[in-house]
């Protein structure tokens, strides 16, 4: 799996590699936390949207009944 793209890693010391991996791990953890927050926000907005769609449909039916009674 070694390619020209990754040859520069052979020049790093073990400490530098470990430090690099730790930074990338922290970055991945932060990104996963952000993804979870986005998913929670998405779910909340989907629930709000569904509620409003149902409420608009309910009100449309009521308005239709009033129009038919006239």
Would residue 58 count as lying in a domain?
yes
Evaluate whether residue 36 is within a structural domain: no
Q: 62 near 54, Cβ under 8 Å? A: no
Identify whether 38 is part of a domain: no
In a domain, 56, yes or no: yes
In a domain, 17, yes or no: no
> Which pLDDT tens digit goes with each residue over 5-49?
888 888 889 999 999 999 999 999 999 999 999 999 999 999 999
- Number of domains into which the chain is organized: 1
Q: Answer whether residue 69 is part of any domain.
A: yes
Task: Give the pLDDT band (50/70/90) at residue 2.
Answer: low
Q: Which domain holds residue 51?
A: 43-70
Asked whether the whole model's pTM tops 0.75, one would answer no
């Amino acid at each position: 799996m070694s390619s020209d793209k990754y040859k520069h890693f052979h020049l790093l010391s073990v400490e530098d590699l470990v430090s690099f991996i730790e930074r990338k791990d922290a970055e991945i953890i932060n990104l996963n936390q952000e993804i979870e927050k986005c998913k929670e926000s998405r779910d909340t907005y989907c629930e709000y949207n569904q509620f409003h769609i149902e409420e608009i449909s309910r009100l449309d039916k009521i308005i239709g009944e009033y129009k038919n009674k006239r």
